[in-house]
Amino acid sequence: MKRTLGTCYYPEHWPREIWEEDARRMAEIGLTWVRIGEFAWKRIEPTPGTFDWAWLDDAIEVLGNAGLKVVLGTPTATPPRWMIDKHPDMIAVDAEGKPRKFGSRRHYCFSHEGYREECKRIVELVAERYGPNPHVAAWQTDNEYGCHDTVISYSDAARTAFRKWLSETFDGDITALNDAWDNVFWSMEYDSFDQIDLPNLTVTEPNPAHTLAFRRFSSDQVVNFNRAQVDIIRAHTDAPIAHNYMGRETAFDHYDVGEDLEISSWDSYPLGFLEDRAGATPEHQRKYARQGDPDFQAFHHDIYRAVGRAQGNHPQGAGRWWVMEQQPGPVNWAPYNPAPLPGMVRLWTWEAFAHGAEAVCYFRWRQAPFAQEQMHAGMLRPDSVDAPAAHEARMVMEELAATPDVQFQQAPVGLIFDFDAAFYWETQPHGAGLDYFMLVLEHYRALRRAGLSVDIIRPRPSEFEGYKAILAPGLMHMTDEVKQALADCGAEVLIGPRSGARNAHFRMPVPLPPAFPGLDVTVSRVESIRPDLPVALAGGGAVEGYLEEIEGSAETILETEAGAPVAKQAGRVTYMAGWGDAKALDRLVNMLCVRARIATVKMPEGVRCRETGSERFWFNHNTTPAETPVGILPAAGVLCETLD
Amino acid sequence: MKRTLGTCYYPEHWPREIWEEDARRMAEIGLTWVRIGEFAWKRIEPTPGTFDWAWLDDAIEVLGNAGLKVVLGTPTATPPRWMIDKHPDMIAVDAEGKPRKFGSRRHYCFSHEGYREECKRIVELVAERYGPNPHVAAWQTDNEYGCHDTVISYSDAARTAFRKWLSETFDGDITALNDAWDNVFWSMEYDSFDQIDLPNLTVTEPNPAHTLAFRRFSSDQVVNFNRAQVDIIRAHTDAPIAHNYMGRETAFDHYDVGEDLEISSWDSYPLGFLEDRAGATPEHQRKYARQGDPDFQAFHHDIYRAVGRAQGNHPQGAGRWWVMEQQPGPVNWAPYNPAPLPGMVRLWTWEAFAHGAEAVCYFRWRQAPFAQEQMHAGMLRPDSVDAPAAHEARMVMEELAATPDVQFQQAPVGLIFDFDAAFYWETQPHGAGLDYFMLVLEHYRALRRAGLSVDIIRPRPSEFEGYKAILAPGLMHMTDEVKQALADCGAEVLIGPRSGARNAHFRMPVPLPPAFPGLDVTVSRVESIRPDLPVALAGGGAVEGYLEEIEGSAETILETEAGAPVAKQAGRVTYMAGWGDAKALDRLVNMLCVRARIATVKMPEGVRCRETGSERFWFNHNTTPAETPVGILPAAGVLCETLD
Amino acid sequence: MKRTLGTCYYPEHWPREIWEEDARRMAEIGLTWVRIGEFAWKRIEPTPGTFDWAWLDDAIEVLGNAGLKVVLGTPTATPPRWMIDKHPDMIAVDAEGKPRKFGSRRHYCFSHEGYREECKRIVELVAERYGPNPHVAAWQTDNEYGCHDTVISYSDAARTAFRKWLSETFDGDITALNDAWDNVFWSMEYDSFDQIDLPNLTVTEPNPAHTLAFRRFSSDQVVNFNRAQVDIIRAHTDAPIAHNYMGRETAFDHYDVGEDLEISSWDSYPLGFLEDRAGATPEHQRKYARQGDPDFQAFHHDIYRAVGRAQGNHPQGAGRWWVMEQQPGPVNWAPYNPAPLPGMVRLWTWEAFAHGAEAVCYFRWRQAPFAQEQMHAGMLRPDSVDAPAAHEARMVMEELAATPDVQFQQAPVGLIFDFDAAFYWETQPHGAGLDYFMLVLEHYRALRRAGLSVDIIRPRPSEFEGYKAILAPGLMHMTDEVKQALADCGAEVLIGPRSGARNAHFRMPVPLPPAFPGLDVTVSRVESIRPDLPVALAGGGAVEGYLEEIEGSAETILETEAGAPVAKQAGRVTYMAGWGDAKALDRLVNMLCVRARIATVKMPEGVRCRETGSERFWFNHNTTPAETPVGILPAAGVLCETLD
Ligand SMILES: [Zn+2]
Ligand SMILES: [Zn+2]
Ligand SMILES: [Zn+2]
């Protein structure tokens, strides 16, 4: 499959007169894909039960005739205003009990049965009409599940659905729930499922078992909502179905959604994300203000490739995924919205291909001079003049001509990222700021500083095969099966901190964690520490924010300056008992790579590389040229070595 | 008209026995004005429909007999508790949906029809009774519109009124509204005006056109509320009517209110405002903790002189205005409430006169030893001993004897300040902290650092006459008429950033802004930037927080160190494409003044001057003596040169 | 009475099979007390009106048979879920109007009559059954009144009760209330008590008299709630009754509650409190992260000894008090939860005994591996292995054998701490961060830096006898009787700032404060100052945050560098007119001690000492050894000198 480019287009935003010209220009640049329709419900169904298909038929025809392939989105992220009249209680409710009203987008609660039926109805109509359309070559369900904190809702509909979900989970046995949650604590025992409320607005924190269940329930509601659309679309077409996920969205289990979809895609906004969610220091934000974080996008690329593996039968390291929306210039929604350094749009595009993307679509074709996103750049300016992104896309198209098809190669290292583990950490972090996503990202950074390509993998035995090293930081819940498979998989394995620290309902197991086969390590005490009070390690590096006291006969390989063990090892398994800083993680990664006979290359600051099988890509995320093993890379430079 | 002093008095707070003595002491100091009555509704109408006028008759008589002139306030800012029983839904609602209850003041929603009728009723009664009273020489409507964030309300009354306002604005044509707002975006189109909600509690930001309309509506509600009172008062008296505005209040259009009033006045609290709203850095707050910001008061003086021009037919530079409440000592409501440096009350008073004030009234006569403002200093201590403000007022009275009447002289420079522009910036700042008020204030500071007197003017062609230079920063919406008038007015004109960046309904125009006659400049891209990432200019200074990419054939007069144009000029018009820091603005102001042949004098830090026509005033806002072109000024020093 | 140790145990959390073993191990360590039952309502009364006493009978029997004495808690802090079905409106409401729902603990409003009846019912049943039980040697009412901000509730029940309370306070005379509150201000006068709302959600701050009354009412509700339980328990047993108070809890008057209880106790969490409520700087938090603040616990020990004096007839300096919950290791609820430095659990225990504690109970026996507090350490790990606290408790037990009984000695210095004064400061601080608790704590620190033992005393004449010096900082309201008693008591007396600054209803008195007998000092003006703008004192030290201008003939003993008087003295009374920093307070304390002939010893940083009568204890709160007058103390060291 060729690597391809695309864009996102809203024919309903523009006069009919310019559609052909737009399509021609897209094709002229060399774009393959054009995504449309995902916010157009009101234009498709202006009033309940009356439909206007003509404009959409026309738009698809115009685009298709220009040689473009359409990705058709279901319009369920933006129900029209009349829908609220039909279902006034369909809107979500925030944690403080406030309604999340009509007037922007994503104004629905995933648990509302009435709205779910409306979605099935409109998706059925759209799929029936366009499933057979030869120009519609792929589908997208809804848009950015979870964006604007929309997974979790405290509505009446959610309460009802949560009670039902719990009753099913516990086979209608309230005593089983009380036991699993240990509700004897603080007299929290329930007499019936109907007494269980949502875990918001409690006097102090609710039972973490309660919170964890609600997070899992909320995730399942997204999965089911999406599946209902997929089932309908699939009945009418063989075209692949995608959803466009977001950055640092851990409120639902993307793997579960991914199991129902052919293609995983995500919306990559490197500059916006650096400002509003990458968790960076102000220094780091200044340094990369116009380039984005050097690892944040790659981390998501690898995560979403893993999500793309969830359905079907892919070789290790493989997975179908796209960038459905690529930042093309300044955006409108971050605290600060600078313009990318010239060359970065090209770099981001190539970086996606280097991580296995099939397609990169720029959001959006033309900057809309109106409404909420009027300050969001496009490939064209509002006056239809080419914006810088158009130029960089043209450059990529020229370069693409000489490159191979999408390809995959299993990386030497597997890094486990588990959404359910994120639920655990968010449920009870124990120390302010302790966050699973950041923990795994920091391990990812360390691997990348060592020049390694990485596969993100799920905590499933079948995923462990063939890696020289597997890192599984922070898996608070681990089944015996997963522990045994890690112990047996033949890879060097790094676990900890908090590995196996809780059971399936957030109980701490006894014997104490990690209780890992073949590893005599016990976490005897746990502490969270002020971030400005690092605990120095003998030999360099430190533990920051979180530290376990461990005991047991396994060999100590890292200890504090005061002599307390921090990492212990037995056979191929290493347990890390704290949150290592960059230096500590570099030491661990290097130790692991030596043991696993994985070759490493120390990357210069801001330089990263990745192998695809036949290529090795080098990227310079700096504003200045960088000296690398393959020569001097200019600012925003991309270099592709051909491997044999 | 003589420059006069006054105070604010609450006879209802004090035993009847001391009224005469109070009045005598006021007169002894030399005060002309005494404002009363504005919070006394409950004492005037103790129960619905029963009235007690005797005490107020008496108080006015006592004050009048002592030779004082009364400013009578309508009592509508503090409806009695029984009013809430009559109109439970009259209270405002905050953006989160919470009621803003009885128990302090300003507990009403401007849109509540029932409360509006109550206000007309009480104002009619008060005006009828005291309109003819010879001692009542001026009126004040309500008190501090907007104080405590009270302009915008999300009540049911506001929703109803907003729908009506929209329907009138769009002639009942919902399609016109959908088109104007581009509601096709995100399927936001409405089927009827009754579907439109207030723009709060949306899932993500509402359509900026929606927000802008709501801000304009909210402003209009204040204007109409005020006008209803003015119409009634005017039917009963020829005395001038004023309102006392606040500092940094941009939630309603003061010019619109001002068109209905003879006198503009404001409540000047230099130390409180420095702490809670001047937008200063901690360093600046420390430096001026006991003096107040050296420009903040002057800026408001000039703004409110412009508001005072809105009614009637004043020569350029003129406008009737007062300080209705002048800080006399420590206040009670800021985060920190220090005492003024000795001499500052005198300085503030003279500063107001230097900017054209007719009267300065100290708030309040005697410190009330009770209720919310018990820590608010007065001219007297609670035990009736003279507080420092009384001494400084006496000093001003002595000095006043030798000074001329209130006079005006058109300044060489006009600086446009437009409340509607503030609505635009607040609606969609695009970068955290970008604020129109601060932008204009920073231009004002630069002008004052160059020793210039400044007139604040409205964006209206008639206001442009006679200036050598006009600065119009940040006017996001500019009509063609205004653009043409600026191009033709003969002054050196500085516009940008964001000039003409939106149409009347917040749409970005095509051709792209600024689209200014005779100036070939186009803003091709816009970025907001972290404030800790200044973009250095060649030759000194920097752009901070906001920068536009501009193109066009106009001459580049400022550029970044990297060579990107930042300011361009053609003929007498200069476009500035970013938010300049102090150094950059000083460069622009000096450049402009040279071209416009305006003489400048570099002011020492903390020293400011202003001309009135026959006088040039110098003020030292420092805690230490300052060397100035007119000699050494002591701390808190005021010097008045007579011009010929 | 011997000094004793104990622990907190939840038999309902553990299998019946291990109870005997648990009891045996408690006894083996040497524990005397075991507190149980305070969260077990649901297990006692599984459904309304059906009871299961067997398990609790059994548990008490098992513990008693092991030689342990039971402290039995009433279970009213955690009503079962079915209670909410019976009384849906019993839950509290927060200041924003949001319900504080079931799902954790303390989910009740103190004002709800229905819930009060339920509490009386269950307490009657528990007291009737276990009052006669010989193993139940003490009682605890409810648990941690006020924890999680639960004193103040804005529920309908609270509103109704507040109106009743006000009506009773003002003998049903609404005019008396209007006069006392000076409601003439801002037309706030009420026509009837039924018009008075709770002082939340007002447009700007409510009348401070309103707020103060609501705080006093809320405090009284706690007192009455507690008294109802006490009256019932007392009818069935002679065992002493305690309540376990919290750290830095000033929302109710603990003295008032204490008047009904034999024993005052508190829950001491030195590390948690340092992070979340000690008001420390980050530097201080880093320095003492694993030791806790060196004065915070001692301050509470002395406060709660004073609360323990409130009932009965104790000699000066005496008072019955316990630590009911002592932190044994990392806790779960602070922003950061580090492990104590080895030795600190022992130090904390001895520190309590040094301040007169009868008993110290560790919370909790075994770490619960489930629910909200699963990360809260115990004396045992979840796997029943001894945790460090068990070892340190054993060490204390061995040391206790050789020490005398609990004893008291009146300290040379009395420091007044008054909860009602805290209500005043919180009602209107006038400057951000000005806090009565911190003011008194900082005086306490200064006394302790001088090596002094301190008695906390109430502002009551009978408490003033026998002290060489009395400090009474910040008593905003002082009756004439208290003033006269302080003037006459023979001690050196330090008052100010704000002494007597308000009357009983928050009115500022005239003549102006302090109006202290024999002291010609008048506060003529008051200012609050940015904390980063200290006012330097001549001779060293500074005033920070708050400064009064004072006048009068009393001798000036401290003045600013600019020469303004800051402290004045006449006879034995000194008035301090500002918030002194550490240096200034040290100067004042030393001056006072010289005049009062109190010997002082300058303590090294982090070292503290206290005398009990026959012993002088020294404590080293540092992580490193400290040189002291009694030799070098190791980190976390405790030394006990025997006095003769
Ligand atoms: Zn179908
Ligand atoms: Zn009339
Ligand atoms: Zn009884």
Whether residue A163 sits in one domain with residue A18: no
Does C98 touch chain A if contact means CB atoms closer than 8 Å?
yes
Q: Give the N- to C-terminal CA distance of chain B in Å, as an integer.
A: 20
Does C182 touch chain B if contact means CB atoms closer than 8 Å?
yes
Cross-strand bridge partners of residue B326: B268, B362
Whether residue A43 sits in one domain with residue A139: yes
Q: Which residues of chain A have pLDDT under 50?
A: none
- CB contact under 8 Å between A105 and B195, yes or no, is no
Question: What Å distances lie between residue C373 and A363, B375, C390, CA to CA?
Answer: 47, 45, 19
Q: Is C143 annotated as a binding residue?
A: yes
Residue matched to tokens 């809320």: C218
Nearest to B39 among C186, C509, C527 (CB): C186
- Known catalytic residues of B are 144, 325
Helix, strand or coil, per DSSP, at residue B190? coil
Domain at A228, CATH number? 3.20.20.80
- CB contact under 8 Å between C527 and B339, yes or no, is yes
- Counting residues of chain C whose pLDDT is more than 90, the rounded percentage is 99
Does B104 touch chain C if contact means CB atoms closer than 8 Å?
yes
Flag whether pLDDT at C325 surpasses 90: yes
Whether residue C245 sits in one domain with residue C106: yes
Whether residue B161 sits in one domain with residue B142: no
Do the domain assignments include residue A215? no
- CB contact under 8 Å between C203 and B375, yes or no, is no
- CB contact under 8 Å between A104 and B208, yes or no, is no
In this prediction, residue C582 carries a pLDDT of 98
Cross-strand bridge partners of residue C565: C559
Is-contact C406 C357, C-beta < 8 A? yes
Whether residue B377 sits in one domain with residue B502: no
Whether residue B266 sits in one domain with residue B170: no
CB B599: neighbour CB atoms within 10 A? 9
CB-based contacts of A288, cutoff 8 Å, min separation 6: A274, A280, A294, A606, A621
CB-based contacts of C361, cutoff 8 Å, min separation 6: C5, C6, C7, C8, C33, C35, C71, C322, C323, C324, C325, C326
Q: Hey, what are A534's tokens? A: 């690092």
Does A206 touch chain C if contact means CB atoms closer than 8 Å?
yes
Whether residue C524 sits in one domain with residue C458: yes
Q: Give the N- to C-terminal CA distance of chain C in Å, as an integer.
A: 20
Do the domain assignments include residue B532? yes
CB C504: neighbour CB atoms within 10 A? 12
DSSP C461: G
Average pLDDT on C331-340 reads 98
Distance, CA of A531 to CA of B353 (rounded, Å): 55
- CB contact under 8 Å between C507 and B289, yes or no, is no
Does A73 touch chain B if contact means CB atoms closer than 8 Å?
no
Q: Is A244 annotated as a binding residue?
A: no
Main-chain dihedrals φ then ψ at residue A131, nearest 5 degrees: -50, -45
Residue matched to tokens 């060399």: A30
In tens, the pLDDT along C268-297 reads 999 999 999 999 999 999 999 999 999 999
Average pLDDT on C45-52 reads 98
Residues in chain B: 644
In tens, the pLDDT along C523-559 reads 999 999 999 999 999 999 999 999 999 999 999 999 9
CA angle A339, A340, A346 (to 5 degrees): 145
Nearest to B103 among C199, C524, C530 (CB): C199
- Report field, pTM of the whole predicted structure over 0.80: yes
- Ligand number nearest CA of A125 is 1
CB-based contacts of B533, cutoff 8 Å, min separation 6: A286, A289, A338
Distance, CA of A278 to CA of A280 (rounded, Å): 5
Residues in chain A within 8 Å Cβ distance of C78: 186-188
Q: Which amino acid is at C17?
A: E
In this prediction, residue B106 carries a pLDDT of 98
| Chain A partners (3+ C-beta pairs within 8 A) | B, C
In this prediction, residue C402 carries a pLDDT of 87
Do the domain assignments include residue A601? no
Does B431 touch chain A if contact means CB atoms closer than 8 Å?
yes
Domain at A529, CATH number? 3.40.50.880
Residue matched to tokens 């609660």: A109
Range of the domain at A203: 157-210
CA of residue C136 to ligand 3 center, whole Å? 16
Residue C337: name the closest of C388, C258, C255, C272 by CA: C272
Distance, CA of C444 to CA of B35 (rounded, Å): 48
Q: Which amino acid is at C560?
A: T
How close, in Å, is residue C297 to chain B by CA atoms?
Answer: 30
Does B201 touch chain A if contact means CB atoms closer than 8 Å?
yes
Does C238 touch chain A if contact means CB atoms closer than 8 Å?
no
Do the domain assignments include residue C637? yes
Residues in chain B within 8 Å Cβ distance of C208: 371-372, 374
Distance, CA of A99 to CA of A107 (rounded, Å): 9
Do the domain assignments include residue C496? yes
Distance, CA of C564 to CA of C567 (rounded, Å): 9
Residue matched to tokens 């580090």: C338
In this prediction, residue B644 carries a pLDDT of 75
In tens, the pLDDT along C564-611 reads 999 999 999 999 999 999 999 999 999 999 999 999 999 999 999 999
Average pLDDT on C207-211 reads 98
In terms of C-beta density within 10 A (0-12 exposed, 13-18 middle, 19 or more buried), how is residue A399 classed? middle
Whether residue C130 sits in one domain with residue C24: yes
In this prediction, residue A402 carries a pLDDT of 87
In this prediction, residue A85 carries a pLDDT of 97
Alpha-helical (H) ranges within C241-384 are 254-258, 270-276, 282-287, 296-309, 344-354
- CB contact under 8 Å between A104 and B203, yes or no, is yes
β strands within B165-278, DSSP E: 241-245, 263-268
Whether residue B253 sits in one domain with residue B116: yes
In tens, the pLDDT along A404-430 reads 999 899 999 999 999 999 999 999 999
- CB contact under 8 Å between C195 and B85, yes or no, is yes
Q: Which amino acid is at B639?
A: L
Do the domain assignments include residue B405? no
* Longest alpha-carbon distance in chain C: 77
> Among residues B338, B370, B400, which one ends one of the domains?
B400
- CB contact under 8 Å between C207 and B79, yes or no, is no
Dihedral of the alpha carbons of B141, B147, B148, B149, in degrees to the nearest 10: 100
In this prediction, residue B48 carries a pLDDT of 98
Average pLDDT on C315-321 reads 96
Do the domain assignments include residue A405? no
Nearest to A532 among C84, C286, C382 (CB): C286
Nearest to B13 among C97, C185, C526 (CB): C185
- CB contact under 8 Å between B185 and A369, yes or no, is no
Helix, strand or coil, per DSSP, at residue B546? strand
Residue B392: name the closest of B405, B381, B379, B376 by CA: B379
> Among residues A168, A185, A210, which one ends one of the domains?
A210
Residues in chain C within 8 Å Cβ distance of B92: 203
- Ligand number nearest CA of A131 is 1
- CB contact under 8 Å between B100 and C202, yes or no, is yes
CA angle C144, C150, C155 (to 5 degrees): 145
Whether residue C356 sits in one domain with residue C282: yes
Residues in chain C within 8 Å Cβ distance of A211: none
- CB contact under 8 Å between A372 and B186, yes or no, is yes
CA of residue B12 to ligand 2 center, whole Å? 25
Residues in chain A within 8 Å Cβ distance of C374: 208, 428, 506-508
Residue A594: name the closest of A496, A492, A495, A518 by CA: A492
Q: Hey, what are A210's tokens? A: 């309660």
Residues in chain B within 8 Å Cβ distance of A275: 530
Do the domain assignments include residue A216? no
CA of residue C235 to ligand 3 center, whole Å? 6
In terms of C-beta density within 10 A (0-12 exposed, 13-18 middle, 19 or more buried), how is residue A179 classed? middle
In this prediction, residue C644 carries a pLDDT of 75
Q: Is A502 annotated as a binding residue?
A: no
Residue B467: name the closest of B478, B456, B481, B480 by CA: B456
In tens, the pLDDT along C502-524 reads 999 999 999 999 999 999 999 99
Residues 15-34 of chain C whose Cβ lies under 8 A from any Cβ of chain B: none
Distance, CA of A264 to CA of A324 (rounded, Å): 9
In this prediction, residue A644 carries a pLDDT of 75
Q: How many CA atoms lie within 13 A of A615 on its CB side?
A: 22
Q: Which amino acid is at B393?
A: A
CA of residue C131 to ligand 3 center, whole Å? 10
Q: Is the ipTM of this complex over 0.85?
A: yes
**Chain B to chain C, count of Cβ pairs less than 8 Å apart?**
165
Distance, CA of B385 to CA of C541 (rounded, Å): 32
Distance, CA of C41 to CA of A191 (rounded, Å): 14
Q: Is C147 annotated as a binding residue?
A: no
SS (H, E, C) A330-386: CCCCCCCCCCCCCCHHHHHHHHHHHCCCCEEEECCCECCCCCCCCCCCCCECCCCCE
Whether residue C131 sits in one domain with residue C113: yes
Cis peptide before B461 (omega within 30 of 0): no
In this prediction, residue A441 carries a pLDDT of 98
> Among residues B400, B426, B453, which one ends one of the domains?
B400
CA of residue B91 to ligand 2 center, whole Å? 27
CA of residue C63 to ligand 3 center, whole Å? 25
Does A286 touch chain B if contact means CB atoms closer than 8 Å?
yes
Domain tally, chain B:
4
Q: Which residues of chain B have pLDDT under 70?
A: none
Which residues in C461-482 are b (16+ Cβ under 10 Å) and which e?
A: eebbebbbbbbbbbbbbbeeeb
Whether residue B204 sits in one domain with residue B235: no
Between helices C388-400 and C19-29, what is the axis angle to 10°?
50
